Amino acid sequence: MAKSSNNSSPPLGNPSDDSLSYYYLDPSDNPGALLVSEIFSGDNYVAWSRSITIALTVKNKVAFIDRSLPQPSPTNARLKTAWLRANNLVLSWLMNSIAKEIRGSLLYFNNAIDIWNELKFRYLRNDGPRVFALEKSSSSISLGSNSITVYFSVFKALWDEYISYHPLLTCNCGFMEKCTCAVLKNLVDQQQAEYLIR
Non-local (6+) Cβ contacts of 134 within 8 A are: 158, 161, 162, 165
pLDDT at 173: 66
Report residue 167's pLDDT band, with 50, 70 and 90 as the boundaries.
low
Nearest to 116 by CA among 165, 64, 70: 64
DSSP 8-state symbol, 5: S
The pLDDT, as a whole number, for residue 60 is 93
Burial class of residue 145 in the structure, from the number of CB atoms within 10 Å of its CB (0-12 exposed, 13-18 middle, 19+ buried): exposed
Task: For the chain, give the mean pLDDT.
Answer: 79
**Residues 15 and 3 sit within 8 Å (Cβ to Cβ):** no
pLDDT reported for residue 189: 67
Contact between 97 and 34 under an 8 Å Cβ cutoff? The reply is: yes
pLDDT tens track for 42-95:
878 888 988 999 999 999 999 999 888 888 888 988 889 999 999 999 999 999
Burial class, 77, CB count within 10 angstroms (exposed 0-12 / middle 13-18 / buried 19+): exposed
Over 60: is that where the pLDDT of 3 sits? no
